[in-house]
């Protein structure tokens, strides 16, 4: 067993987290992650209302007695969700750890801390992580350029970003972006992280609530099969390459405004694809770790395999290189 500041702080057996993922972070996946000894996060905004989130939290508790958390992503929006109401549901439900995303989050941090809720804040730059630490975060998930979703605009890969963060931060760090096996976990620990945060790899598991076509696509595609869209709008997003992402890139090259591409990338369209199995129906997030995904195991098999492999790398491969 691998013990780190992350496992000790958050009361889990393994230094692995399943980050919040829109439409995917639901009870089936999160409870499986928790039962396997890692830390899973429900995605609050996947639920249409705060009351629905409360019900999903209760549904998860019926499936596991192990720790799990909730992701609350708070980004600028024309019509923002009622973040404070979702926050209060998290607190009232007795959740003791949240994964937060956003910039203007001090009020949320203060409320969570006052309620005794630990905070893991997702960042894509060291400067953002340092600010989150000053604001009261208990841990940081640092996302390298390889990650699915929004990698920021600095384009710094994990090999540099993780140790750069470890050099400056005093709180635990989760390495995120490009992780999917035991070699990655061992490497993250060597770089100064206290664990890994995986999204794409957990999507390709039996319990992930998305159509099997998407899981098989992640097995079939390699590390090159992603696109960075929205770069011209300064809101870069890494998604799986498909017909829609290629059309978005074409429109961006033409200099089209976001309003032109919005109908192609709206969230409900993506959700429809995840449910009906059409991988070209909308955009869907996936990281470069696709190149390391070769099967669709159960969550428990995946986590056990990652931990066993990491221990073997540390004990056998690395220690064997030491000379007296």
As a whole number, mean pLDDT of residues 61-89 equals 94
Q: Are 299 and 33 in contact (CB under 8 A)?
A: yes
Q: How far apart are CA 53 and CA 55, in angstroms?
A: 5
- Whether pLDDT at 324 is above 90: no
Q: How far apart are CA 114 and CA 104, in angstroms?
A: 18
Q: How far apart are CA 48 and CA 61, in angstroms?
A: 19
- Whether pLDDT at 323 is above 90: no
Q: What is the pTM of this model?
A: 0.96
What local confidence, expressed as pLDDT, does residue 110 receive?
A: 98
Token pair, residue 41, equals: 């996060």
Residue listed under structure tokens 């057996």? 13
What local confidence, expressed as pLDDT, does residue 322 receive?
A: 84
State the pLDDT confidence band at 75, using cuts at 50, 70 and 90. confident
As a whole number, mean pLDDT of residues 19-25 equals 95
* Least reliable range by pLDDT among 64-68, 103-107, 157-161, 187-191: 103-107
What local confidence, expressed as pLDDT, does residue 138 receive?
A: 98
Exposure class string for 27-62: b at 16+ Cβ within 10 A, else e? bbbbbbbbbbbbbbbbbbbbbeebeebbebbeebbe
What local confidence, expressed as pLDDT, does residue 305 receive?
A: 98
What local confidence, expressed as pLDDT, does residue 79 receive?
A: 86
* Segment 194-230, tens digit of pLDDT: 999 999 999 999 999 999 999 999 999 999 999 999 9
State the pLDDT confidence band at 170, using cuts at 50, 70 and 90. very high
- Whether pLDDT at 77 is above 90: no
* Segment 98-156, tens digit of pLDDT: 999 998 899 999 999 999 999 999 999 999 999 999 999 999 999 999 999 999 999 99
């Amino acid at each position: 067993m691998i013990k780190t500041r992350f496992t000790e702080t958050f009361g889990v057996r393994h230094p692995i987290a399943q980050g919040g993922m829109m439409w995917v972070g639901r009870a089936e996946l999160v409870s499986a992650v928790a039962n396997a000894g890692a830390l899973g996060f429900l995605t609050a905004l996947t639920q249409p209302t705060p009351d629905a989130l409360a019900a999903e939290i209760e549904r998860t508790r019926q499936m596991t007695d192990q720790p799990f958390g909730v992701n609350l992503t708070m980004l600028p929006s024309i019509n923002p969700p009622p973040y404070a109401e979702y926050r209060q549901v998290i607190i009232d439900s007795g959740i003791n750890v949240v994964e937060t995303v956003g910039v203007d989050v001090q009020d949320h941090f203060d409320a969570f801390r006052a309620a005794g809720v630990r905070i893991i804040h997702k960042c894509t730059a060291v400067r953002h992580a340092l600010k989150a630490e000053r604001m009261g975060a208990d841990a940081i998930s640092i996302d390298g350029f390889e990650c699915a979703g929004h990698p920021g605009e600095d384009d710094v890969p994990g090999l540099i970003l993780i140790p750069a963060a470890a050099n400056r931060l005093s709180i635990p760090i989760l390495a995120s972006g490009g992780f999917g096996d035991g070699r990655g976990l061992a490497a993250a620990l060597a770089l100064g992280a206290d664990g890994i945060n995986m999204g794409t790899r957990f999507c390709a598991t039996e319990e992930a609530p998305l159509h099997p076509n998407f899981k098989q696509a992640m097995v079939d595609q390699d590390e090159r099969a992603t696109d960075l869209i929205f770069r011209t709008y300064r809101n870069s997003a890494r998604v799986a390459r498909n017909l829609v992402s290629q059309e978005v890139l074409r429109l961006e090259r033409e200099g089209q405004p976001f309003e032109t591409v919005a109908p192609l990338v709206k969230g409900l369209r993506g959700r429809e694809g995840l449910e009906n199995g059409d991988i070209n129906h909308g955009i869907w997030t996936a990281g470069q770790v696709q190149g390391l995904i070769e099967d669709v195991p159960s969550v428990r098999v995946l986590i056990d395999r990652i931990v066993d492999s990491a221990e073997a790398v540390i004990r056998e491969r690395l220690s064997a290189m030491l000379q007296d």
